[in-house]
Chain A
């Protein structure tokens, strides 16, 4: 028992005006849709938050038609400097309504309020500000003097960063002059619908942004719709493959941001306390529901004992619980389905002979929870070292030399991110050159910035989001 107990410091949810049911946002208005509805629940309590419409093929068609009209009549012909005004307005409203967005994000997703408040929502606003600045400067994006938008973009986003993934998709698309039909994940649709309200508040012309809710079938209808010019998807590699297969042979452009199994490489000469923070942030940020999570820890063998001791001590201070409590570090697992997958893979870890250690923490009675966990004695042959768990589970491996670290880090079908921890600058540069990963973080992890491109190698997908490079995904260049 600790002496210094922190009393509950719960962020009030009264700031969110949650409706009992939500329709689809098509052509600037909320409509009922022609299908059934499904429930969005709070993963921390299993309480039903709202009923949400499930878009049918007809609804998807209506949304794509609205987007096409808006593209041809309003948005593409509009000068970039005018489009920028709308994007700046949206960015400002997001910043103004940040608390409301953060609370709703934590309710619907289960992530701790300190993350939605201090990371997700600020980045969402920054993303819109950043791409607003590009809208009238597209001729300087390196894609020719007068690059053209692609048309109507179908965008499908995951449940781990619902609002942030929305911003990564919508901001560059709109800045470049495209219109969009976006489908949020079925477990986390609510902030996207609040974003639709923000589009109304910003008086964005009808049809420029359309939000359709639903599950896999809705997504498939969107991908297969003949009048879509571009598909942008973030999610699992399995679904990414299906999408690639589905659009093959068509004119549709595709960007995919898929899974990862990133190596976080700690050398013996690293600043150990900060490296331990980076390990924790790398895998336990957002309950490990992060495609670029540092889920494979590679520790130089000579520092193994010390790193592990510090890591366990640090993990014991992580506070798991109510996502709306400002002192919560680890929130809820997003869904029962995801929890089942984490349990299944960790059971495989046990069966394959790895040693499991979980931080001592009380698990609430309701909702979906998984204690921060590490597996030691893991080798490259273990499934938990190869497959993406997408949960708060770290596999710990060792290496002896920089060459071995590179070999092990690259020995994965993925290649989204990697981390390097050392006080030696030259080693950082040589590692970064050799690691096959879209992002290599040095002495930090999970840092995002709208000016920096993000994306993967191999089965982690193709295309880049963020920065000037992110515009290429939404423009026809003449080069």
Chain B
């Protein structure tokens, strides 16, 4: 074991443990908050503005990506008061297509570093990152090397994040922990801390390709991590749950958790995002319902 690894391990092992039963009970209790009327309206608009509208399929085409980008700009064509999404999230080769549509009006996020498995040599991951940034991505969603993390090779995970951060330049770096593969809550807390130490601007739960993806307890735990990290270092890091969040009700539960765990400062698209695709339409349906008083139905939101 190198000295650096030993030191990193000491830092991570010094973090308080996580009691799974207690964590899940806390998440379940926050999920019973009842958000109604004006607070619901406010939360839905905030949630829309936090969506990283995502498509990460082998079958993505320029047409599909253009449609999604327009949707992110104007989620509800019938209502100009509806906020835009935060960003469009695609593979690096689709970044330029997104930029053509959204210009500077939205962020463009690219999943780089041999997404989703991260099983490639470092130089390939760095090239992938540079490629995305050169094509116009101002946010890079990287994956950590889960194999290295589980094998205890913490330096490797750390140094890769540092290297990708450097390659990404001024682009914001979101570090995907793939919590479904880390398995334990203790691992999630350690990986969160490791990513933040290495320079992550955001920590993100999942690729969306592994089950379970984002869960309320995991997100709660990561929010505790960013809260504690800011207290310890003064630096604020964002959180992005991704995958499996499909309904407005779910999204509002996440916002309640943000509110009560990390607090006000994270209730902003700069500090909290949803990685999602179908969530946006449900938010729009609920938004229309709040404004008009009745459900409009799926034909009144655009399918992209």
Q: Which of A's residues lie within 8 Å of B, judged by CB? A: 2-9, 114, 118, 269-275, 277-278, 317, 326-327, 423, 443-444
Contacts and interface: CB of A to CB of B under 8 A. Distances in A.
A7 B224 contact: no
A327 B16 contact: no
A271 B17 contact: yes
Nearest to B35: A6
Contact of A3 (B19, B40, B267): B267
Interface stretch (B20-28, B56-64, B197-205): B20-28
Contact of B18 (A118, A269, A274): A274
B21 A443 contact: yes
Contacts of A272: 16
A118, A270, A271, A275 interface centre (most CB from chain B within 10 Å): A271
Interface in B223-243: 224
Contacts of B300: none
B36 A7 contact: yes
B255 interface: yes
A114 to B, nearest CB: 6
Taking each of A6, A269, A270, A317, which has the highest tally of chain B beta carbons within 10 Å of its own beta carbon?
A6
B39 A326 contact: no
A317 B260 contact: yes
Contacts of A7: 35-40
A278 B32 contact: no
Interface residues of B, number: 28
B37 to A, nearest CB: 5
The 4 closest A-B pairs by CB, nearest first: A274-B22, A9-B34, A271-B19, A274-B19
30 contacts: A2-B263, A2-B264, A3-B259, A4-B43, A4-B255, A4-B259, A4-B264, A5-B39, A5-B42, A6-B33, A6-B35, A7-B39, A8-B36, A9-B36, A270-B16, A271-B16, A271-B17, A273-B18, A273-B22, A274-B18, A274-B23, A274-B26, A275-B19, A277-B22, A277-B26, A327-B33, A327-B34, A423-B17, A443-B22, A444-B21
Given A118-B32, A327-B34, 5 more contacts: A4-B256, A5-B38, A7-B40, A274-B22, A443-B19
B239 to A, nearest CB: 15
Contact of A271 (B18, B35, B36, B42): B18
A338 B116 CA distance: 60
A326 B35 CA distance: 9
A7 B43 CA distance: 11
A326 B16 contact: no
Name, among A8, A114, A273, A275, the residue most crowded by chain B CB atoms within 10 Å (CB to CB).
A273
Interface in B1-54: 16-19, 21-23, 25-26, 32-40, 42-43
